[in-house]
Structure 1
Amino acid sequence: MDLHDPLSIAADAADPATEPYSPLEQRALLQACRAVLRPMARLAVGRGLPFGEVAELLKQCFVEEARAAHPGVAPHRAVSRISTTTGLNRREVTRLMQRSSGEATARSSPATQAFTRWLSDPAFLGPDGAPVPLSPQGPAPSFETLAHSITRDVHPRTLLEELTRLGLAQLDDADGRVHLLNTAFVPREDLDRMLAFLGANVGDHLAAAVANVLSDGSRHFEQALFADELSDDSLDAARGLISDTWQQLLHGLAPALQALIDADKAAARPAGQRLRIGLFAYTDAMTRPPTTALPITPHIKEH
């Protein structure tokens, strides 16, 4: 068993907030950012969110974090300081600072616009108000006219391929028409709930990890156990163990936390802090699957 505790390493490291990164550390930082950003890109691509929306949001976050990193800077120097910190030009910084914090953009992808118009435009609805199947080409109502009503920059065939990839539409070989498959990506309340959990859980987990890296490494508990060279049968067994462990953790911590809350109220202590405790498991194929018999020494690591 190979045990590794990154907290002890981080505690001995120099403070990255006061000491510049070396080229090797910069490369490691970029690799860490890539590992974080790829799942975000997968989510955006999977839900049809265009790059421009995410890029704008990322720039906004850079500006907000740069402002927070320089709380005492004079207002007339803020733009220059933020521009230097982020690498964004002064005009972009000024524009982004004028936007309200957390404001989201309202643009949507051509696929989302086509999907919405097909559901709502009377030109593409039947007498019962339901979206009608569309011929791929030709006069209205057709998918070609629907696509051109959204944009002339994307070929109708490309737009149909994107809608098909998202599971929203499909060309039926039997009747030769394009059919709308769903009236929503998923039920609205389910999507909202899943995205809220994703943002809250992953956001807090990432915030904890980042705070540890930027401090002495011990501010938040953040550990993981990982293993490779497992069979599908072993993964099924491990999932049961993980579920049982979570139930034990939940039943042990929930009453203890409630007791702490009750004690705070009884003592009239200021109670402005929050706590999130999570357990997650992720399975995937190994990058380099074993080609020989499994070794005797188990490949289990704690991180």
Structure 2
Amino acid sequence: MTQRDAPFPPDTAVTAASAGHSPGEQRALLRACRAVLAPLARLAVGHGLTFSAVTEVLKQGFVQAARAAHPGAAAHRAVSRISTTTGLNRREVTRLMQRADGDVPVAPSPATQAFTRWLTDPAFRGADGAPMALRVQGPAPSFESLANSITRDVHPRTLLEELSRLGLARADTEGSVRLLHNAFVPRADRERMLAFLGANVGDHLAAAVSNVLDDGRRHFEQALFADELSAESMAQAKVLITEQWQGLLHTLAPALQALIDADKAAGRPADQRLRIGLFAFTEAMHPAEAMAPPSPTQSPSKES
């Protein structure tokens, strides 16, 4: 089954004002937030980013959005209005407003603290200065003593499992554990991937949100959805998608450059930016939704 997915056609556009924030819309909004935030939670967990760090970013986003929603508020009333709009208390709003640069201090997780101490504390380094392989349990120097020097709220075994999950340490079959890296520095390609993720997904989400809050016409956002595909068909579909992107790239890039050149020649203010993307997401259907292959003795159009 294939269908085109247009979020808000012009004749059925819904705005926040006309919808009146009905209970049904609020439930739909929460479902949308869950769909958006679940992958972000997976990303954070996959990179060892704690809930408190992400929460701080979300709070700052709420305060920034509320400030934009009350542009004419006097300085002495801005905190109250933002507090009312966001549900954050006044003290928290004041603290967040004072962080003008938007930077978020990331509190190191217990795993990060254990990794850093293992690298830097002479008690856990050998004569050559390299981090020692540690016994999992026992008196210092051991991983148990290292973990307990960081926190008593997390069991040493749990902390070791987290370091292993993050690919920073590995236990052997002889009851020892050793570090796998000598620095907690992301690879350059991973940093670029995260930068692209923020830029591409951020702009896509900003376009979708603007369409919902306005009249649905401001940004182009369309999707094509298909299910009931086999693994073989999916492989062919991926080839088609790549070909379509190459065609789009070869058509749009020269056209956009021509527009840029025309703006420069005409002396027009060049204060606008544009991002055009094509993405594809594939996954297995839920077992209850997937169609089983037809029996060799039956026609594909008949039920088995």
TM-score by length of 1: 0.90
Q: Provide the residue aligned with 2:283 in structure 1.
A: 284
| 8 Å contact from structure 2 (residues 110, 151) kept in 1 | yes
Q: Distance in 1 between matches of 2:229 and 2:291?
A: 13
Deviation at 1:17, TM superposition (A): 4.1
**Is 1:205 matched up with 2:204?**
yes
Residues 101-180 of structure 1 aligned to structure 2 (within 5 Å): 101-173=101-173, 175-180=174-179
Which stretch of structure 1 is more off in the superposition, 161-170 or 15-24?
15-24
DSSP-derived class of the 1:7 partner:
coil
Deviation at 1:215, TM superposition (A): 0.6
Q: Provide the residue aligned with 1:301 in structure 2.
A: none
Structure 1: gaps spanning 5 or more residues: 297-303
Residues 181-200 of structure 1 aligned to structure 2 (within 5 Å): 181-183=180-182, 187-200=186-199
Residues 194-233 of structure 1 aligned to structure 2 (within 5 Å): 194-233=193-232
Deviation at 1:57, TM superposition (A): 1.2
Deviation at 1:130, TM superposition (A): 2.8
Residues 9-24 of structure 1 aligned to structure 2 (within 5 Å): 11-17=11-17, 20-24=20-24
Q: Distance in 2 between matches of 1:281 and 1:267?
A: 38
In 2 relative to 1, CA 106–186 (structure 1 residues): closer, same or farther, beyond 3 Å?
closer
Q: Distance in 1 between matches of 2:8 and 2:38?
A: 25
In 2 relative to 1, CA 25–266 (structure 1 residues): closer, same or farther, beyond 3 Å?
same
2:6 is aligned with what amino acid? D
DSSP-derived class of the 1:259 partner:
helix
Q: Distance in 2 between matches of 1:97 and 1:132?
A: 45
| 8 Å contact from structure 2 (residues 114, 146) kept in 1 | yes
In 2 relative to 1, CA 243–18 (structure 1 residues): closer, same or farther, beyond 3 Å?
same
1:232 is aligned with what amino acid? A
Which stretch of structure 1 is more off in the superposition, 176-185 or 231-240?
176-185
Q: Distance in 1 between matches of 2:265 and 2:129?
A: 59
| 8 Å contact from structure 2 (residues 63, 97) kept in 1 | yes
Which stretch of structure 1 is more off in the superposition, 112-121 or 179-188?
179-188
What percentage of aligned pairs have identical amino acids? Answer: 70
1:276 is aligned with what amino acid? R
| 8 Å contact from structure 1 (residues 11, 217) kept in 2 | no
Q: Over the residues paired in the alignment, what is the CA RMSD in angstroms? A: 1.9
DSSP-derived class of the 1:6 partner:
coil
Deviation at 1:164, TM superposition (A): 1.6
Q: Distance in 2 between matches of 1:21 and 1:67?
A: 21
Q: Distance in 2 between matches of 1:257 and 1:128?
A: 58
Deviation at 1:237, TM superposition (A): 1.2
Q: Distance in 1 between matches of 2:180 and 2:120?
A: 15
Q: Provide the residue aligned with 2:297 in structure 1.
A: none
TM-score by length of 2: 0.90
Structure 2: gaps spanning 5 or more residues: 295-299
Corresponding residue pairs, total: 294
| 8 Å contact from structure 1 (residues 110, 151) kept in 2 | yes
